[in-house]
Structure 1
């Protein structure tokens, strides 16, 4: 052997590289971390799935275990997934499959399970040999069109098969079902959301790419957990949507029944173990950490959760409730909206998450359209050949018959008739039965359809707006198919023991003056008396101030205050200070963030109508100059401390009255000169917050709108009109015929010197009470049925006896249900004789 020939030891030595051990450790750890991050623990922002979820669904699709098939043993699905795509152990795959079937873990389960798949008590699923599963219908939407070259594929772990890198995902699954996982050095925790809300936000962002996170949050209220419960406050939700991180407090749904001495828990925070919660409550009771509980029962069944906490006879329910809240009935959900974007982990805002999803769908629809276009063009090419062959059918048949074999026939057709290779091959394979006239007509019809589809596909591919319209229509179709009601509600964030908890629920009379002094008094302060009385002192006014409005509200109701500048503010009734009849009240500027020169024009109680949660609710507003507009109550759900726009007012115009309506009422506008017009609510289409509205009534010269009444003919019997000089009347609802809006209306009441101008108009029924207040602060409560029923165009009767130079300023109606149930204590109620 030559001395220059390298020995085996020399070869091995040349292959050794010198490296610092800390550098090698660092690089190896980074490689491991990225493998866990990208290949196991974090979801892809496009389809919201981790690899194991994606592989299970794809394996089920390939095996035909769809929503239309019969259920298949979970062990078979796990085996297919592990053998073909995910060689990481059957237990990890089955745990993932089981979670996708749990309706308490997934907002919209992706697997339809049959058998025991676990429970909210922490019970594990039955062994995979006992359970069966198939894809749920909504899971198929994630895989829709995967066979049409919509996504890229990669080789599986042993290069035998191919698997998708991502699913087409026809809806934003990352936000809809959420995700959680712990990687190396990072973790993700995306809460689930309501499908309809997320789709609405996605469409909004497609139509308005400049939309802000605040704009999108007008559609996405917040997380919507499968177990329901309540999110405490909205600030943390806003922070999470803006930054991708936040801590959301979730509180159980429960009812305190003081009469029976029990607290009943019906909904739990997301991912809370019910059995463990009951055990810990029992431990705290035994250890004396919680006092006042004598029994604890779990009465839950398949219909829902029901945990009953029985209280001792002398226990204070509020104290026990707050102890439970502090330790057991409230949890924090830490939002970390972390997902893979182009293979890299990123913390995303709500807008960024939807932007990445929209780009993914654009790519999917573009590739699908290109794939279909190629197929359609190939088909059109074949159909063109068939049609030309049918035009020369005798010559084509003769040519084929004279040829030695198929190849020769195909060559002859190409040379003689100028057919392409594909057309000639298809014609040679044609059967004689396809030469009938009916077959010819079918081919011509198919050819026209294919040409029309080609034109549409080319239009989609040539225009971004057309492509986006396809995405929007597909999203809307999924929303129509799978959308449901929110399960998670919002409650006020006031700490564990809220001020509201300590305020008794009672009916209140709220009085506000022209200088925006405001106060509340219990309704029981005022007894009903016969009409025509002077009433009693309702408020003490400062010099040159007068009463502006009086209205009834529950102490826990939300009030919406609309100002002369069209801004709307929100406050709770109990936030208005409770004062005596002779007190002046508190300046509203201390309660609401009003600007200089801004005055409250109208207040509406947002909790007075809409007892049915499915009922449509609108704020219907009328201005002095006769404009009327209707806006959905949902538009006023997120009111900032500085207020939001309620309506646009023209110079010199001002808001007069606001009513809550349900989309099925009639509206009656009354004017100061005694005119009234009645028209269907549908005459006023719903509008946005910044709209001015449409003409409701054509006012006579010098006239102005005095009020608005929302009339439900099935509930209201009369229309009540009251004038400034204290006169009023009831007229049957039927006396006001329905017209089109923007008419001059009919004569409602005679005004003139005796009556004065109309102050208000209301819809009333049997048992209602009327509360009227004068500008000088006198207040009277009387039964509506004490006011005579007369026709329109009459003078009316005395309702309130006024002092000289005083006049009726405003009125409100006490509904019959409240008037009948309210029983004023003798020590508090005051009638006219007492003064």
Structure 2
């Protein structure tokens, strides 16, 4: 007989089966792992950690216990997950730079703001803080429901009843399935003030009390009041947080910047690495050095490149380029009292917490009333016993079963009779009777007050304000823990400062060799000196000119591609420099045609070897990346031949071919393009273009005569060579250089 399968096979569409199972997983992640409860601001792992520590009696006044013991209890009894994830959650609860009001008091290495990890849990110890005690206040008074643990062996609280506004005071962050939460920390005293205002008036404006986030690491929130109000009203947004930077003056006129507080969530080690990278990559030329002089307090020293640098410009650049300014997100996505995830406004979250406070107040009052009723019942029995002491002793001595006799004779309850029979002989003093009467009167008075409290909403509001006031006194602005750390002051976004403005303007001499080695010598040195034009064996000068460190240099290759070099980033003049190919992505077979300052002229004349060319604005040739920018697209077989700066007063073009024919035509006949082939400057029967320039027609053309005298010759009347663009031209004036170069 064939064996039957354990479970019947269910025929169902794959997509529906998958979606049902994934939905179960998603809901589990949302409700039991990643999102905090609006009432106590805790996720299950944090709640279970604190509960386990409470059962281990790790109060602030008690000694510390190993974290391994706590983690073991948590994963063994309440939270069947990985020990590392539980320990990581515990470490965060103890970090003073992560939590505004730490819930765990750690002893040992619990990590640091540099980003270093905590020591293993066998080395560290912990106990609860007063904040955690306040958060759990009421657990012994039936203030909240308990549920069985995962294995049903013990019970754990569903949430904590204490009157500490943990959700907003300590914040939360978590990623669930399809949703996330991110709540920055706030000042507890401000939150309690807002809660008290909501008790009196549910429509009160909470922003009259809550100024903005209050981060454990301090810093400055620089958003506008309108932006802050918008974020809090919708429950979504972000806060622009800046480091606190001060300018410290030195003797002799120097200065440096000191960072004393950094934005929340930024690791100091990575922050300094990022600033050092800005210096190494020369992205912030006005910054000279960064040093970490921190001990327990943060102190990052930033040295300017020179004392002439404007401190405001450096600070703005640091805010813009580094993590000294960040955005802290706000996504107030929490589980409400029905365990439903939703995004709340600040006022809604505070109102939900206040409502929870009233529920706790009523439950604690009812629990106290039941305890008082139990005690009054016993005290009534004790008083009957004292008033009839001789008879009670007689019954106990004479009866085999004294309890039913006493119940019948004195109209006692079973509990009263049992309590009388369990009384010690020592308590049969006259003094004890007076104590019982005094205790009964006191309890009856308290009972009456609690009954009045439960019957009156106004009394409950008054009591709640009084209880909140006591908590506020403990975390008030005058206390070390409660004093506001983050300043809220509006500031404009950091201005974008062009790189040129940060570079110190200094004269340099740029030299490019025939083999493509480039260097920049300090100062405007003599271009004809042998010392200046020193090259490797077999190499020689290609371009040499004077420039400034603030210049951008344009390098053109024969394929028509233009590259941009920053003059301040050129290698120094010692030695032979570096290959220019290390700075730009130069094509392997490309020949360098031109190297010039972008600021040398507003417009450039670019001409190919086949005589086609056009005018291009210098600004249009500047490339933003190492790959360069295509400006000229020569026809097949042709190459970019030359790039010439066009003078401000130039009005004519002179072109000469390999066939030694010269042509002069108006500059206006050329087209201005940002990219292309251009138009024909000169027609050639054979060969191509040799050279071309622009000049002022009235001044004519000058050329060097050669020889040691260094004389020049000028041909002022160019009428004989003037024709329309595209003509063939005629032989140049007598004495024109044989190399056909202007």
User: If the TM-score is normalised by the length of the shorter chain, which range does it land in?
Assistant: 0.5 to 0.7
Q: Is the 8 A contact 1:292 1:314 kept in 2?
A: no
Q: Give 1:150 deviation, angstroms.
A: 1.0
Tell me if the contact between 1:339 and 1:347 (Cα under 8 Å) persists in the aligned partners. Answer: yes
Task: Give the C-alpha shift of residue 311 in structure 1.
Answer: 4.0
Q: Which structure 1 residue ranges, 4+ long, deviate > 6 Å from structure 2? A: none
Deviations 1:786-806 (A, max 9, x none): xxxxxxxxxxxxxxxxxxxxx
1:270 aligned residue (260, 264, 269): 264
Q: How does 1:223-302 map to 2 (within 5 A)?
A: 223-233=213-223, 234-257=225-248, 259-302=253-296
Alpha-carbon offset, residue 316 of structure 1: 2.5
Deviation, structure 1 residue 12: 6.4
Question: Is 2:33 the partner of 1:43?
Answer: no
Alpha-carbon spacing, 1:303–1:288, altered in 2? closer, same or farther (3 Å):
closer
Matches within 5 A, 1:486-501: 486-497=484-495
1:456-496 deviation line (CA, Å, top 9, x unaligned):
11111111222222222111111111222211112223221
Is the Cα–Cα contact under 8 Å of residues 131 and 164 in structure 2 kept in the other structure?
no
For 2:37 and 2:296, locate their aligned partners in 1 and report how far apart those are by CA, in whole Å. Answer: 34
CA contact (8 A) 1:250 1:332 kept: yes
Equivalent residues in 2 for 1:464-475 (5 A)?
464-475=457-468
Indicate the residue corresponding to 2:653 in structure 1.
Answer: none
Q: Is the aligned partner of 1:392 residue 2:388?
A: yes
- Secondary structure (helix, strand or coil) at the match of 2:491 reads coil
State the SS of the aligned residue for 2:140: coil
2:254–2:307 Cα contact (<8 Å) kept? no
In structure 2, the CA distance between the partners of 1:195 and 1:31, relative to structure 1 (3 Å rule), is same
Q: Does 1:368 align with 2:364?
A: yes
Question: Structure 2: how far apart are the matches of 1:456 and 1:172?
Answer: 27
The answer to whether residue 103 in structure 2 is matched with residue 110 in structure 1 is: yes
Q: Cα gap change, 1:24/1:309 in structure 2, threshold over 3 Å: closer, same or farther?
A: farther
Alpha-carbon displacement from aligned partner over 1:180-208 (angstroms, at most 9, x marks no partner): 01111111001110010000001110111
Tell me how far apart the structure 1 counterparts of residues 59 and 163 of structure 2 sit (CA, whole Å): 17
1:180-579 to structure 2, matched below 5 A, reads 180-211=173-204, 215-233=205-223, 234-257=225-248, 259-328=253-322, 329-341=324-336, 342-404=338-400, 408-483=401-476, 484-497=482-495
User: What do the CA deviations read for 1:500-538 (whole angstroms, capped 9, x no partner)?
Assistant: xxxxxxxxxxxxxxxxxxxxxxxxxxxxxxxxxxxxxxx
Whole-angstrom CA distance in 2 between matches of 1:255 and 1:294: 17
Query: Which of 157, 165, 171 is 1:172 aligned to?
Result: 165
**How far does residue 498 in structure 1 lie from its aligned partner after superposition?**
10
**What's the secondary structure of 2:139's corresponding residue?**
coil
Mapped pair 1:99 → 2:92: yes
Contiguous gaps of at least 5 residues in structure 1:
2-6, 500-835
- Asked if structure 2 preserves the Cα contact closer than 8 Å seen for 1:300 and 1:307, the reply is no
Confirm or deny: 8 A CA contact 1:149 1:367 kept in the other structure.
Answer: yes
Q: TM-score, normalised by structure 2?
A: 0.64
| Shift in alpha-carbon separation, 1:210–1:316, aligned structure 2, 3 A | closer
Return the offset for 1:305: 3.6
Contact 2:238 2:329 in 1 (8 A): yes
RMSD: 1.7
CA contact (8 A) 1:261 1:311 kept: no
| Structure 1 residue 308: Cα displacement | 3.5
Question: Could you tell me which of 83, 89, 103 is aligned with 2:76?
Answer: 83
TM-superposed CA distance for 1:442, in Å, is 0.7
Per the TM alignment, residue 100 of structure 1 is displaced from its structure 2 partner at its CA by: 0.6
* Equivalent in the alignment of 1:623: none
| Paired residues of 1:291 and 1:320 also in contact (CA < 8 A) | no
CA distances 1:517-561 after superposition (whole Å, capped 9, x unpaired) = xxxxxxxxxxxxxxxxxxxxxxxxxxxxxxxxxxxxxxxxxxxxx
State the distance in 1 between where 2:442 and 2:228 align: 50
Kept after mapping to 2: 8 A contact 1:182/1:188: yes
For the pair shown, the structure with the greater C-alpha radius of gyration is 2
Aligned counterparts of 2:298 and 2:493: Cα–Cα separation in 1: 28
Q: Is residue 46–residue 169 contact of structure 1 (8 Å, CA) maintained in 2?
A: no
Report the Cα distance in structure 1 between the residues aligned to 2:132 and 2:305, rounded to whole angstroms.
46
- 1:229 Cα deviation from its structure 2 partner: 0.3
SS class of match (1:147)? helix
Superposed CA offset, 1:141-183 (max 9, x none): 1111102111111111111111111111312110111100111
Structure 1 residues 152, 195: closer, same or farther in 2, change over 3 A?
same
Structure 2 vs 1, CA of residues 417 and 12 (structure 1 numbering), >3 Å: closer, same or farther? closer
- In the alignment, the residues of structure 1 paired with residue 218 and residue 274 of structure 2 have an alpha-carbon distance, to the nearest angstrom, of 22
Deviation at 1:41, TM superposition (A): 0.6
Q: Report the CA distance between 1:446 and its aligned residue.
A: 0.6
CA contact (8 A) 2:71 2:83 kept: yes
Decide whether aligned partners of structure 1 residues 309 and 82 sit closer, same or farther in structure 2, where only a CA change above 3 A counts: farther
After TM superposition, the structure 1 = structure 2 runs for residues 104-143 of structure 1, keeping only pairs within 5 Å, are 104-143=97-136
TM-score of the superposed pair, with normalisation by structure 1: 0.57
- Asked if structure 2 preserves the Cα contact closer than 8 Å seen for 1:223 and 1:488, the reply is yes
